[in-house]
A and B are shown apart, each in its own frame.
Chain A
Amino acid sequence: MSRNRKPSIDPVILIALGILLLTIAVVMIVLQSNTDVVSITNNAGTASQLVVAFITGLTTGGLSCLAVQGGLLASSLAHQIEQDYIEQAAHAERKKRSGKKNQTAVHSSSAFPIFLFLMAKIVAYTLLGALLGLLGSYLTLSPATRAVLMIVIGVFMLGNALRMFNVHPIFRYFSIEPPKFITRYIRRTAKGTDTVTPLFLGALTVFIPCGVTQAMMAAALGTSSMVMGAALMLAFTLGTSPVFFIVAYLTTELGSRLEKFFMRFVAAMVLLLGLVTINGGLNVLGSPLSFQNLTRNLLPSNRESVSAAQTAQSSLTEGDIVLYVQNQGYFPQTISAPAGKAFTLNLITNKTYSCARDFVIPALDYYELLPDTGTVQVNVPAQTKGDRLFFTCSMGMYTGQIVFE
Protein backbone atom coordinates (compact mmCIF):
# COMPACT_ATOMS: atom_id res chain seq x y z
CA MET A 1 0.00 0.00 0.00
CA SER A 2 1.46 3.34 -1.01
CA ARG A 3 1.41 6.01 1.63
CA ASN A 4 0.33 9.53 0.83
CA ARG A 5 3.52 11.34 1.85
CA LYS A 6 4.13 15.05 1.75
CA PRO A 7 7.09 15.76 -0.54
CA SER A 8 10.06 16.85 1.57
CA ILE A 9 12.77 19.20 0.39
CA ASP A 10 15.78 17.40 -0.93
CA PRO A 11 19.13 18.35 0.60
CA VAL A 12 20.24 19.05 -2.97
CA ILE A 13 17.90 22.04 -2.99
CA LEU A 14 19.57 23.34 0.13
CA ILE A 15 22.99 22.97 -1.43
CA ALA A 16 21.74 24.61 -4.63
CA LEU A 17 20.43 27.53 -2.63
CA GLY A 18 23.75 27.85 -0.85
CA ILE A 19 25.59 27.79 -4.16
CA LEU A 20 23.25 30.42 -5.60
CA LEU A 21 23.86 32.75 -2.68
CA LEU A 22 27.60 32.15 -2.76
CA THR A 23 27.59 32.89 -6.49
CA ILE A 24 25.87 36.19 -5.83
CA ALA A 25 28.54 36.94 -3.22
CA VAL A 26 31.37 36.14 -5.64
CA VAL A 27 29.75 38.19 -8.43
CA MET A 28 29.44 41.15 -6.10
CA ILE A 29 33.06 40.83 -4.99
CA VAL A 30 34.15 40.68 -8.64
CA LEU A 31 32.06 43.74 -9.36
CA GLN A 32 33.82 45.49 -6.52
CA SER A 33 37.15 45.17 -8.32
CA ASN A 34 35.59 46.60 -11.48
CA THR A 35 33.69 49.51 -10.06
CA ASP A 36 34.30 51.57 -13.21
CA VAL A 37 31.99 49.20 -15.04
CA VAL A 38 29.20 49.24 -12.50
CA SER A 39 27.34 52.45 -11.92
CA ILE A 40 23.88 52.32 -10.45
CA THR A 41 24.10 55.97 -9.54
CA ASN A 42 26.66 58.60 -10.25
CA ASN A 43 28.31 57.99 -6.87
CA ALA A 44 31.64 56.24 -7.16
CA GLY A 45 32.04 53.11 -5.03
CA THR A 46 28.42 52.09 -5.35
CA ALA A 47 29.34 48.45 -5.84
CA SER A 48 31.62 48.50 -2.82
CA GLN A 49 28.75 49.81 -0.72
CA LEU A 50 26.63 46.90 -1.95
CA VAL A 51 29.39 44.42 -1.14
CA VAL A 52 29.73 45.90 2.37
CA ALA A 53 25.95 45.60 2.77
CA PHE A 54 26.01 41.99 1.56
CA ILE A 55 28.91 41.01 3.80
CA THR A 56 27.34 42.81 6.77
CA GLY A 57 24.21 40.75 6.18
CA LEU A 58 26.19 37.56 5.71
CA THR A 59 28.30 37.97 8.84
CA THR A 60 26.16 39.72 11.42
CA GLY A 61 22.78 40.66 9.98
CA GLY A 62 21.59 37.06 9.66
CA LEU A 63 22.03 36.29 13.34
CA SER A 64 20.74 39.62 14.52
CA CYS A 65 17.64 39.38 12.29
CA LEU A 66 17.06 35.85 13.41
CA ALA A 67 17.07 36.95 17.02
CA VAL A 68 14.42 39.59 16.37
CA GLN A 69 12.39 38.02 13.58
CA GLY A 70 12.83 34.39 14.53
CA GLY A 71 9.40 34.45 16.13
CA LEU A 72 7.71 35.27 12.86
CA LEU A 73 9.66 32.60 11.06
CA ALA A 74 8.79 30.04 13.71
CA SER A 75 5.19 31.07 13.33
CA SER A 76 5.38 30.53 9.59
CA LEU A 77 6.78 27.07 10.29
CA ALA A 78 4.25 26.25 12.96
CA HIS A 79 1.61 25.16 10.48
CA GLN A 80 4.08 22.99 8.61
CA ILE A 81 5.38 21.41 11.79
CA GLU A 82 1.85 20.89 13.09
CA GLN A 83 0.95 19.06 9.88
CA ASP A 84 4.09 16.97 10.09
CA TYR A 85 3.24 16.14 13.68
CA ILE A 86 -0.28 15.06 12.76
CA GLU A 87 1.10 13.02 9.89
CA GLN A 88 3.70 11.41 12.14
CA ALA A 89 1.04 10.55 14.71
CA ALA A 90 -1.14 9.01 11.98
CA HIS A 91 1.88 7.16 10.64
CA ALA A 92 2.68 5.77 14.09
CA GLU A 93 -0.93 4.68 14.49
CA ARG A 94 -0.93 2.88 11.12
CA LYS A 95 2.36 1.24 11.99
CA LYS A 96 0.97 0.07 15.31
CA ARG A 97 -2.13 -1.38 13.66
CA SER A 98 -0.30 -3.14 10.79
CA GLY A 99 2.55 -4.32 13.00
CA LYS A 100 5.04 -3.42 10.23
CA LYS A 101 8.45 -2.24 11.32
CA ASN A 102 10.10 -1.34 8.04
CA GLN A 103 8.12 1.77 7.13
CA THR A 104 10.16 4.95 6.91
CA ALA A 105 9.38 7.79 9.28
CA VAL A 106 7.95 11.06 8.13
CA HIS A 107 10.45 13.91 8.28
CA SER A 108 9.60 17.51 8.73
CA SER A 109 9.99 19.51 5.52
CA SER A 110 10.65 22.96 6.92
CA ALA A 111 13.03 24.05 4.15
CA PHE A 112 10.30 25.15 1.76
CA PRO A 113 8.44 27.46 4.17
CA ILE A 114 11.77 28.98 5.26
CA PHE A 115 12.60 29.55 1.59
CA LEU A 116 9.22 31.23 0.98
CA PHE A 117 9.63 33.33 4.11
CA LEU A 118 13.06 34.53 3.01
CA MET A 119 11.94 35.27 -0.56
CA ALA A 120 9.06 37.39 0.71
CA LYS A 121 11.42 39.10 3.13
CA ILE A 122 13.90 39.93 0.36
CA VAL A 123 11.16 41.42 -1.85
CA ALA A 124 9.65 43.40 1.04
CA TYR A 125 12.98 44.85 2.15
CA THR A 126 13.95 45.75 -1.41
CA LEU A 127 10.72 47.72 -1.72
CA LEU A 128 11.36 49.28 1.69
CA GLY A 129 14.88 50.23 0.55
CA ALA A 130 13.42 51.92 -2.53
CA LEU A 131 11.00 53.87 -0.34
CA LEU A 132 13.75 54.87 2.11
CA GLY A 133 16.02 55.93 -0.74
CA LEU A 134 13.20 58.03 -2.16
CA LEU A 135 12.59 59.56 1.27
CA GLY A 136 16.32 60.14 1.69
CA SER A 137 16.37 62.16 -1.51
CA TYR A 138 14.27 64.70 0.40
CA LEU A 139 16.22 64.42 3.67
CA THR A 140 19.88 64.61 4.61
CA LEU A 141 21.14 62.80 7.69
CA SER A 142 23.99 64.68 9.33
CA PRO A 143 26.82 62.61 10.88
CA ALA A 144 25.61 63.67 14.34
CA THR A 145 22.06 62.45 13.59
CA ARG A 146 23.48 59.21 12.23
CA ALA A 147 25.64 58.82 15.36
CA VAL A 148 22.65 59.27 17.66
CA LEU A 149 20.72 56.78 15.51
CA MET A 150 23.58 54.28 15.81
CA ILE A 151 23.70 54.66 19.60
CA VAL A 152 19.93 54.19 19.87
CA ILE A 153 20.15 51.10 17.64
CA GLY A 154 23.08 49.79 19.72
CA VAL A 155 21.11 50.19 22.94
CA PHE A 156 18.18 48.39 21.29
CA MET A 157 20.49 45.52 20.34
CA LEU A 158 21.99 45.35 23.83
CA GLY A 159 18.51 45.26 25.31
CA ASN A 160 17.53 42.43 22.99
CA ALA A 161 20.65 40.43 23.83
CA LEU A 162 20.00 40.84 27.56
CA ARG A 163 16.39 39.80 26.97
CA MET A 164 17.60 36.63 25.26
CA PHE A 165 19.92 35.94 28.18
CA ASN A 166 16.88 36.45 30.45
CA VAL A 167 18.77 38.92 32.61
CA HIS A 168 15.75 40.92 33.82
CA PRO A 169 12.02 41.10 32.91
CA ILE A 170 12.44 44.76 31.89
CA PHE A 171 14.39 43.68 28.80
CA ARG A 172 11.26 41.96 27.42
CA TYR A 173 10.16 45.45 26.35
CA PHE A 174 13.02 45.53 23.84
CA SER A 175 11.16 42.90 21.85
CA ILE A 176 8.65 44.48 19.52
CA GLU A 177 5.28 42.76 19.48
CA PRO A 178 3.66 42.83 16.05
CA PRO A 179 0.33 44.71 16.09
CA LYS A 180 -2.56 42.42 17.03
CA PHE A 181 -4.62 43.31 13.98
CA ILE A 182 -1.77 42.16 11.75
CA THR A 183 -1.21 38.82 13.49
CA ARG A 184 -4.97 38.21 13.64
CA TYR A 185 -5.44 39.09 10.00
CA ILE A 186 -2.60 36.86 8.87
CA ARG A 187 -3.74 33.96 11.00
CA ARG A 188 -7.27 34.11 9.68
CA THR A 189 -6.44 34.60 6.02
CA ALA A 190 -3.59 32.15 5.95
CA LYS A 191 -5.36 29.42 7.88
CA GLY A 192 -5.18 26.06 6.18
CA THR A 193 -2.54 26.95 3.60
CA ASP A 194 1.13 26.10 3.57
CA THR A 195 2.49 28.78 1.31
CA VAL A 196 0.58 31.92 2.23
CA THR A 197 1.68 32.05 5.88
CA PRO A 198 5.45 32.15 5.35
CA LEU A 199 5.00 34.59 2.46
CA PHE A 200 2.90 36.92 4.57
CA LEU A 201 5.12 36.68 7.60
CA GLY A 202 8.28 37.11 5.55
CA ALA A 203 6.88 40.34 4.15
CA LEU A 204 5.85 41.44 7.62
CA THR A 205 9.42 41.34 8.92
CA VAL A 206 9.71 44.91 7.63
CA PHE A 207 7.72 45.91 10.70
CA ILE A 208 10.22 44.35 13.11
CA PRO A 209 13.68 45.07 11.72
CA CYS A 210 16.63 43.99 13.83
CA GLY A 211 19.31 46.44 14.95
CA VAL A 212 21.66 45.72 12.06
CA THR A 213 18.78 45.97 9.60
CA GLN A 214 17.80 49.29 11.09
CA ALA A 215 21.36 50.51 10.62
CA MET A 216 21.18 49.38 7.00
CA MET A 217 17.81 51.12 6.64
CA ALA A 218 19.48 54.30 7.84
CA ALA A 219 22.19 53.71 5.22
CA ALA A 220 19.49 53.22 2.56
CA LEU A 221 17.96 56.50 3.66
CA GLY A 222 21.40 58.07 3.34
CA THR A 223 21.81 56.95 -0.27
CA SER A 224 19.21 59.53 -1.29
CA SER A 225 18.41 57.36 -4.30
CA MET A 226 15.46 55.07 -4.85
CA VAL A 227 17.46 52.57 -6.95
CA MET A 228 20.48 52.60 -4.65
CA GLY A 229 18.31 52.27 -1.55
CA ALA A 230 16.58 49.24 -3.06
CA ALA A 231 19.89 47.71 -4.19
CA LEU A 232 21.44 48.24 -0.76
CA MET A 233 18.58 46.56 1.08
CA LEU A 234 18.48 43.76 -1.51
CA ALA A 235 22.21 43.09 -1.05
CA PHE A 236 21.88 43.17 2.74
CA THR A 237 18.81 40.93 2.90
CA LEU A 238 20.38 38.48 0.45
CA GLY A 239 23.40 38.43 2.74
CA THR A 240 21.30 37.66 5.80
CA SER A 241 19.50 34.81 4.05
CA PRO A 242 22.08 31.97 4.23
CA VAL A 243 22.65 32.31 7.99
CA PHE A 244 18.94 32.83 8.57
CA PHE A 245 18.16 29.79 6.47
CA ILE A 246 20.79 27.48 7.94
CA VAL A 247 20.14 28.40 11.58
CA ALA A 248 16.36 28.29 11.15
CA TYR A 249 16.56 24.99 9.28
CA LEU A 250 18.88 23.37 11.80
CA THR A 251 16.86 24.73 14.70
CA THR A 252 13.59 23.34 13.44
CA GLU A 253 15.14 20.07 12.31
CA LEU A 254 17.41 19.34 15.22
CA GLY A 255 15.16 20.27 18.08
CA SER A 256 14.91 22.50 21.08
CA ARG A 257 18.22 21.60 22.71
CA LEU A 258 20.11 22.97 19.72
CA GLU A 259 17.74 25.91 19.54
CA LYS A 260 18.74 26.89 23.07
CA PHE A 261 22.39 26.68 22.08
CA PHE A 262 21.81 28.77 18.95
CA MET A 263 19.77 31.36 20.80
CA ARG A 264 22.55 31.80 23.34
CA PHE A 265 25.04 32.11 20.51
CA VAL A 266 22.81 34.63 18.76
CA ALA A 267 22.36 36.56 22.02
CA ALA A 268 26.14 36.74 22.47
CA MET A 269 26.56 37.93 18.87
CA VAL A 270 23.84 40.56 19.23
CA LEU A 271 25.42 41.74 22.49
CA LEU A 272 28.75 42.14 20.72
CA LEU A 273 27.13 43.89 17.75
CA GLY A 274 25.27 46.23 20.08
CA LEU A 275 28.54 47.26 21.73
CA VAL A 276 30.21 47.69 18.34
CA THR A 277 27.30 49.82 17.09
CA ILE A 278 27.32 52.05 20.18
CA ASN A 279 31.08 52.38 19.86
CA GLY A 280 30.68 53.37 16.19
CA GLY A 281 28.13 55.98 17.18
CA LEU A 282 30.53 57.39 19.80
CA ASN A 283 33.26 57.58 17.16
CA VAL A 284 31.00 59.48 14.76
CA LEU A 285 30.13 61.87 17.58
CA GLY A 286 33.88 62.39 18.14
CA SER A 287 33.59 61.21 21.71
CA PRO A 288 36.84 60.47 23.58
CA LEU A 289 34.93 57.65 25.30
CA SER A 290 34.88 55.31 22.29
CA PHE A 291 36.99 52.18 22.57
CA GLN A 292 39.49 53.35 19.93
CA ASN A 293 39.86 56.83 21.37
CA LEU A 294 40.30 55.52 24.89
CA THR A 295 42.90 52.94 23.94
CA ARG A 296 44.65 54.73 21.06
CA ASN A 297 47.68 55.86 22.99
CA LEU A 298 48.05 52.64 24.91
CA LEU A 299 48.56 50.32 21.94
CA PRO A 300 52.05 49.97 20.40
CA SER A 301 50.66 49.99 16.82
CA ASN A 302 49.38 53.50 17.34
CA ARG A 303 52.70 54.72 18.64
CA GLU A 304 54.27 53.50 15.42
CA SER A 305 51.79 55.54 13.45
CA VAL A 306 53.21 58.74 14.95
CA SER A 307 56.49 58.13 13.20
CA ALA A 308 54.58 57.39 9.98
CA ALA A 309 52.99 60.80 10.32
CA GLN A 310 56.33 62.44 10.57
CA THR A 311 57.51 60.61 7.45
CA ALA A 312 54.46 61.72 5.57
CA GLN A 313 54.82 65.30 6.68
CA SER A 314 58.47 65.53 5.73
CA SER A 315 57.72 65.29 2.01
CA LEU A 316 55.29 68.21 2.03
CA THR A 317 55.49 71.94 1.95
CA GLU A 318 55.49 73.63 5.31
CA GLY A 319 52.12 73.79 7.02
CA ASP A 320 50.59 70.95 5.04
CA ILE A 321 49.74 67.62 6.64
CA VAL A 322 48.84 64.46 4.76
CA LEU A 323 46.41 61.75 5.71
CA TYR A 324 46.24 58.69 3.50
CA VAL A 325 42.70 57.38 3.20
CA GLN A 326 42.96 53.72 2.27
CA ASN A 327 40.54 50.80 2.04
CA GLN A 328 41.82 49.55 5.42
CA GLY A 329 41.46 52.92 7.17
CA TYR A 330 43.48 56.05 7.82
CA PHE A 331 47.28 56.22 7.82
CA PRO A 332 48.72 57.44 10.04
CA GLN A 333 46.10 57.02 12.69
CA THR A 334 47.71 59.64 14.89
CA ILE A 335 48.97 62.90 13.42
CA SER A 336 50.96 65.48 15.31
CA ALA A 337 50.19 69.10 14.47
CA PRO A 338 51.54 72.37 15.85
CA ALA A 339 49.27 74.03 18.40
CA GLY A 340 48.01 77.58 17.84
CA LYS A 341 48.44 77.43 14.09
CA ALA A 342 45.92 76.76 11.32
CA PHE A 343 46.95 74.21 8.71
CA THR A 344 45.70 72.33 5.65
CA LEU A 345 44.96 68.65 5.97
CA ASN A 346 45.39 66.82 2.65
CA LEU A 347 43.22 63.75 2.39
CA ILE A 348 44.69 61.46 -0.27
CA THR A 349 42.69 58.59 -1.71
CA ASN A 350 43.97 56.06 -4.21
CA LYS A 351 41.44 53.46 -5.40
CA THR A 352 39.72 53.76 -2.04
CA TYR A 353 36.29 52.20 -2.10
CA SER A 354 35.64 51.41 1.55
CA CYS A 355 33.58 53.58 3.90
CA ALA A 356 36.85 55.31 4.88
CA ARG A 357 35.96 57.66 2.01
CA ASP A 358 33.03 59.00 4.04
CA PHE A 359 35.30 61.27 6.05
CA VAL A 360 34.09 63.02 9.20
CA ILE A 361 35.75 65.38 11.70
CA PRO A 362 32.92 65.67 14.23
CA ALA A 363 34.38 68.56 16.26
CA LEU A 364 34.68 70.70 13.10
CA ASP A 365 31.29 69.54 11.82
CA TYR A 366 33.14 68.48 8.68
CA TYR A 367 31.73 65.72 6.47
CA GLU A 368 32.82 64.85 2.96
CA LEU A 369 32.45 61.89 0.62
CA LEU A 370 35.95 61.80 -0.85
CA PRO A 371 36.60 60.81 -4.47
CA ASP A 372 37.90 57.23 -4.80
CA THR A 373 41.16 58.65 -6.17
CA GLY A 374 42.35 62.18 -5.56
CA THR A 375 43.15 64.78 -2.93
CA VAL A 376 40.77 66.84 -0.84
CA GLN A 377 42.00 69.69 1.33
CA VAL A 378 40.51 70.54 4.71
CA ASN A 379 41.34 73.78 6.48
CA VAL A 380 41.85 73.00 10.15
CA PRO A 381 41.66 76.06 12.42
CA ALA A 382 44.22 76.68 15.17
CA GLN A 383 43.80 74.56 18.28
CA THR A 384 45.29 74.86 21.74
CA LYS A 385 48.11 72.64 22.96
CA GLY A 386 47.00 69.25 24.16
CA ASP A 387 43.77 69.29 22.13
CA ARG A 388 42.83 66.21 20.17
CA LEU A 389 40.70 66.24 17.03
CA PHE A 390 39.18 62.88 16.27
CA PHE A 391 38.36 61.87 12.72
CA THR A 392 36.40 58.85 11.55
CA CYS A 393 34.47 57.33 8.70
CA SER A 394 30.73 57.98 8.77
CA MET A 395 30.07 54.48 10.16
CA GLY A 396 32.56 54.90 13.01
CA MET A 397 34.60 51.92 11.85
CA TYR A 398 37.87 53.61 10.87
CA THR A 399 39.22 56.26 13.17
CA GLY A 400 42.22 58.45 13.92
CA GLN A 401 43.24 61.63 15.70
CA ILE A 402 45.19 64.83 15.31
CA VAL A 403 47.17 65.70 18.42
CA PHE A 404 48.17 69.33 18.89
CA GLU A 405 51.59 69.83 20.45
Chain B
Amino acid sequence: MIKKTFKIPDMTCTNCAMKLESIEDTLEGVKEINASYHKLQMTVEYDEARLTDEQIIAAVKKKGYQALPT
Protein backbone atom coordinates (compact mmCIF):
# COMPACT_ATOMS: atom_id res chain seq x y z
CA MET B 1 0.00 0.00 0.00
CA ILE B 2 1.21 3.49 -0.79
CA LYS B 3 -0.16 6.95 -0.16
CA LYS B 4 -0.16 9.58 -2.88
CA THR B 5 -1.40 13.15 -2.91
CA PHE B 6 -3.02 14.74 -5.94
CA LYS B 7 -3.80 18.40 -6.44
CA ILE B 8 -7.40 19.00 -7.50
CA PRO B 9 -7.42 22.65 -8.59
CA ASP B 10 -11.04 22.77 -9.79
CA MET B 11 -12.81 21.90 -6.52
CA THR B 12 -15.36 24.61 -5.75
CA CYS B 13 -17.04 23.44 -2.55
CA THR B 14 -16.99 20.83 0.19
CA ASN B 15 -19.31 18.67 -1.86
CA CYS B 16 -16.54 18.22 -4.43
CA ALA B 17 -14.45 16.57 -1.69
CA MET B 18 -17.35 14.25 -0.88
CA LYS B 19 -17.75 13.33 -4.53
CA LEU B 20 -14.05 12.57 -4.89
CA GLU B 21 -14.04 10.43 -1.76
CA SER B 22 -16.84 8.35 -3.24
CA ILE B 23 -14.27 7.02 -5.76
CA GLU B 24 -13.02 4.71 -3.02
CA ASP B 25 -16.32 2.80 -3.27
CA THR B 26 -15.87 1.96 -6.92
CA LEU B 27 -12.18 1.88 -7.78
CA GLU B 28 -10.55 -1.52 -7.18
CA GLY B 29 -7.35 -1.35 -5.16
CA VAL B 30 -8.15 1.84 -3.25
CA LYS B 31 -8.09 1.55 0.51
CA GLU B 32 -8.98 5.12 1.44
CA ILE B 33 -9.37 8.56 -0.09
CA ASN B 34 -9.26 11.78 1.90
CA ALA B 35 -10.13 14.87 -0.09
CA SER B 36 -9.95 18.41 1.22
CA TYR B 37 -11.60 21.41 -0.35
CA HIS B 38 -9.58 23.68 1.95
CA LYS B 39 -6.30 22.34 0.57
CA LEU B 40 -7.60 21.55 -2.92
CA GLN B 41 -6.06 18.12 -2.77
CA MET B 42 -6.83 14.48 -2.19
CA THR B 43 -4.74 11.75 -0.63
CA VAL B 44 -5.23 8.25 -1.94
CA GLU B 45 -4.04 5.14 -0.12
CA TYR B 46 -3.95 2.29 -2.62
CA ASP B 47 -2.39 -0.99 -3.65
CA GLU B 48 0.13 -0.10 -6.34
CA ALA B 49 0.13 -3.68 -7.61
CA ARG B 50 -3.56 -3.36 -8.57
CA LEU B 51 -3.85 0.30 -9.47
CA THR B 52 -1.89 2.97 -11.34
CA ASP B 53 -1.80 6.75 -11.06
CA GLU B 54 -3.34 6.96 -14.51
CA GLN B 55 -6.35 4.95 -13.41
CA ILE B 56 -6.85 7.24 -10.42
CA ILE B 57 -6.54 10.33 -12.63
CA ALA B 58 -9.07 8.81 -15.04
CA ALA B 59 -11.52 8.07 -12.20
CA VAL B 60 -11.19 11.65 -10.96
CA LYS B 61 -11.77 12.93 -14.49
CA LYS B 62 -14.94 10.85 -14.68
CA LYS B 63 -16.20 12.75 -11.64
CA GLY B 64 -15.56 16.00 -13.49
CA TYR B 65 -12.23 17.08 -12.00
CA GLN B 66 -8.60 17.25 -12.93
CA ALA B 67 -6.06 15.44 -10.72
CA LEU B 68 -2.41 16.49 -10.79
CA PRO B 69 0.16 14.26 -9.08
CA THR B 70 2.32 16.20 -6.59
Question: Residues on A close to B: CB < 8 A?
Answer: 70-72, 74-75, 78, 169, 172-173, 175-178, 180, 183-184, 187-188, 191
Report A67 CB to chain B, min CB distance, Å. Answer: 9
User: Which of B18, B36, B40 is the one whose CB lies under 8 Å from A183?
Assistant: B18
A-B contacts, CB under 8 A, total? 42
Report A191 CB to chain B, min CB distance, Å. Answer: 7
Give bound CA distance, A379 to B25, whole Å: 68
Give every chain B residue within 8 A of A70 (Cβ-Cβ): 13, 15
Question: Contacts A70-B15, A71-B13, A177-B14; is A183 near B21 (CB within 8 Å)?
Answer: yes
Give every chain B residue within 8 A of A188 (Cβ-Cβ): 25
Report B66 CB to chain A, min CB distance, Å. Answer: 16
Question: Residues on B close to A: CB < 8 A?
Answer: 13-19, 21-22, 25, 34, 36-38, 40
A71 and B25: CB pair below 8 A? no
A75 and B25: CB pair below 8 A? no
The 6 closest A-B pairs by CB, nearest first: A71-B15, A71-B13, A177-B14, A71-B14, A74-B15, A183-B18
Interface of A is mostly: helix
Give bound CA distance, A177 to B41, whole Å: 13
Give bound CA distance, A254 to B42, whole Å: 30
Give bound CA distance, A46 to B14, whole Å: 37
Give bound CA distance, A177 to B16, whole Å: 10
* 13 A–B contacts, CB within 8 A, in A order: A71-B13, A74-B15, A172-B37, A172-B40, A175-B13, A175-B14, A175-B37, A178-B18, A180-B34, A183-B18, A187-B18, A187-B21, A187-B25
Give bound CA distance, A403 to B17, whole Å: 55
Question: Contacts A172-B37, A173-B38; is A187 near B22 (CB within 8 Å)?
Answer: yes
Give bound CA distance, A334 to B32, whole Å: 63
Give every chain A residue within 8 A of B25 (Cβ-Cβ): 187-188, 191
Give bound CA distance, A59 to B14, whole Å: 25
Give bound CA distance, A172 to B38, whole Å: 5
User: Which of B15, B34, B36, B38 is the one whose CB lies under 8 Å from A75?
Assistant: B15
Give bound CA distance, A178 to B17, whole Å: 10
Report B32 CB to chain A, min CB distance, Å. Answer: 9
Give every chain A residue within 8 A of B38 (Cβ-Cβ): 172-173, 175, 177
User: Which of B18, B21, B34, B36 is the one whose CB lies under 8 Å from A71?
Assistant: B18
B37 and A78: CB pair below 8 A? no
A178 and chain B: residue at smallest CB distance: B14
Give every chain B residue within 8 A of A187 (Cβ-Cβ): 18, 21-22, 25
Report B38 CB to chain A, min CB distance, Å. Answer: 5
Give bound CA distance, A126 to B28, whole Å: 42
Name 13 extra pairs, CB < 8 A, besides A177-B17, A177-B36: A71-B13, A71-B16, A75-B15, A172-B37, A175-B14, A175-B37, A177-B14, A178-B14, A180-B34, A183-B21, A187-B22, A187-B25, A188-B25
